[in-house]
Amino acid sequence: MLTLYDRTVSSRLLLGTARYPSPAKLADAVRRSGTEIVTVSLRRETAGGKAGGAFFELIRDLGVHVLPNTAGCHSVSEAVLTAKMAREVFRTNWIKLELIGHHDTLQPDVFQLVEAAKILSDDGFEVFPYTTDDLVVGERLLQAGCKLLMPWCAPIGSAMGPQNVSALKSMRAEFPDIPLIVDAGIGRPSHAAQVMELGYDAVLLNTAVAGAGNPALMAEAFAKAIDAGHLAYQAGPLEPRDMAVPSTPVIGKGVFA
């Protein structure tokens, strides 16, 4: 079981809801994945319209926890306003805080991120910050009131998988008691299993599932990979060795002259 702020869930997969071929395929992927948390981007132009209303009704019918996000925000004021609007629409204090600082890589603006996290935390929000794998930034976010961290492993939508495994390991070691969720850059189920084997608590996906030929099947594949990686971490996997070690004992082996 995984506890995030005041809620406990059994699935360690968080699923995004953007870019699916159709609402039906989105619904199938959510159900097939077993996820209990989905992220939703609040768009001001659709929040009060028919398209937005139908989409939000679909999400509610899925019976999952909603994690609104501030996707597309580039300033503290914009992110804070979007978060407050999301709280009114979805009636939740959860917010995935995204503050983009670089247009090409979509890397978070960590300076504004910390500032916005403090404002929102003081206002009663439970912040899920999309951040880098920088330890200092992570510490500042925790000091700002965040109770978990969501580091990237590669740029959003790149599907490159973990680009700095050492940094991810360091973050896990530095914050052993803080929930850590890898967010952004995962492209294949094997990537998800890899970060879970490092001891991460969950994975947040969107593009890798939504962009697959069969989103529902890919969602199930990711769910199984995440479970496998988590079990492997709990089991204590062998560390790599620089030489061969025989798996069959040689002591007592018969010798023929």
Please enumerate, by residue number, every residue annotated as part of a binding site: 157, 184-185, 206-207
Single out the catalytic residue among 96, 118, 147, 224. Answer: 96
Evaluated on CA atoms 144, 147, 153, 154, the torsion sign reads negative
Integer Cα distance of 113 and 235 in angstroms? 36
**Can you tell me which residue has the tokens 């978060």?**
83
Q: What is the dihedral of CA 117, 120, 125, 130, to 10 degrees?
A: -30
Residue 41: in which H helix or E strand, if any? Answer: strand 37-41
Q: Is 50 designated active site?
A: no
Integer Cα distance of 202 and 14 in angstroms? 7
How wide is the angle at C-alpha 180 spanned by C-alphas 202 and 143, nearest 5°?
Answer: 150
DSSP character at residue 137: H
Structure token digits, residue 153: 């492993």
Residues making up the annotated binding site for 1-deoxy-D-xylulose 5-phosphate are 157, 184-185, 206-207
Structure token digits, residue 71: 């996707």
Length, in residues, of the chain: 257
Kindly give, in sequence order, each residue whose CB lies less than 8 Å from that of residue 97, ignoring residues fewer than 6 positions away.
Answer: 69, 70, 79, 83, 113, 116, 117, 120, 127, 128, 129, 130
Integer Cα distance of 26 and 218 in angstroms? 12
Integer Cα distance of 225 and 236 in angstroms? 17
Residues designated catalytic = 96
